[in-house]
Amino acid sequence: MAFELPPLPYAEDALEPAYSARTISFHYGKHHKTYVDTLNKLTEGTDLAAKPLEDVIRGAAPGPLFNNAAQVWNHTFFWNGMRPGGGGAPTGDLAARIEAAFGGYDAFVEDFKTAAVGRFGSGWAWLVADGGALKIVTTPNAETPLTTSATPLLTVDVWEHAYYLDYQNLRPAYVQAFFDKLVNWEFVARNLSKAG
């Protein structure tokens, strides 16, 4: 059974103007699709082709198989972390947990932005639950918290292909726009409820 490119949870132009249809057409339609296609080539004719994607990631040694499998998962998670009309502060238990962990929503956004901007080169910035605590972590390249004890709650892709068409070299503006206009807090809250 081949791995498939999951459908976007919204239309390609649904996140405009904060995230353009042009960026999504390249980022999702080319980059994400290439990771899926390459993963299928790497697993064709093996028992890995029938395994859940998470199992492939956790069992793969560093190299092409891990890189492509993890990038398929990371990107799918990233798309689901955004929504049309998103952004702004969360509510309920999630808001309280962010307040307790970071001293407030604004402080959380600043800490997250510092981490995302400080990730040298390509990678990801994450909000995770680890041992009951909320933490901000970054990972290089295709690395993912799935290979750790942490539960991913939210990610921002800081590879240049994720933002360069819309924001050029202004990674801080991209991350700020993510929190102001794009973030899907309902998705984050669902992930938090699974983390316990």
On whether the CB atoms of residues 182 and 19 are closer than 8 A, the answer is yes
On whether the CB atoms of residues 50 and 1 are closer than 8 A, the answer is yes
Residue 194's identity, in one-letter code, is: K
Side-chain half-sphere exposure of 153, counting CA atoms within 13 A? 25
- Using alpha carbons, select from 151, 180, 148 the residue that is nearest to residue 77: 151
Identical topology for domains 21-80 and 92-195: no
**pLDDT, average across residues 33-52:** 96
Question: Can you identify the CATH homologous superfamily of domain 92-195?
Answer: Iron/manganese superoxide dismutase, C-terminal domain (3.55.40.20)
Quote the tokens at residue 8: 């976007």
The structural domains of the chain, with segments of one domain joined by +, span 21-80, 92-195
Quote the tokens at residue 39: 């993963």
Question: In this predicted model, what pLDDT tens digit does every residue of 57-97 receive, in sequence order?
Answer: 999 999 999 999 999 999 999 999 999 999 999 999 999 99
Q: Check residue 42 and give its pLDDT.
A: 97
- Using alpha carbons, select from 73, 75, 41, 79 the residue that is nearest to residue 56: 73
Among residues of the chain, what percentage have pLDDT more than 70? 99
How many other C-beta atoms lie within 10 A of the C-beta of residue 74? 26
Side-chain half-sphere exposure of 107, counting CA atoms within 13 A? 10
Query: Looking at the domain covering 21-80, what would its CATH class be?
Result: mainly alpha
At 195, the pLDDT band (50, 70, 90 cuts) reads confident
Question: In this predicted model, what pLDDT tens digit does every residue of 128-176 receive, in sequence order?
Answer: 999 989 999 999 999 999 999 999 999 999 999 999 999 999 999 999 9
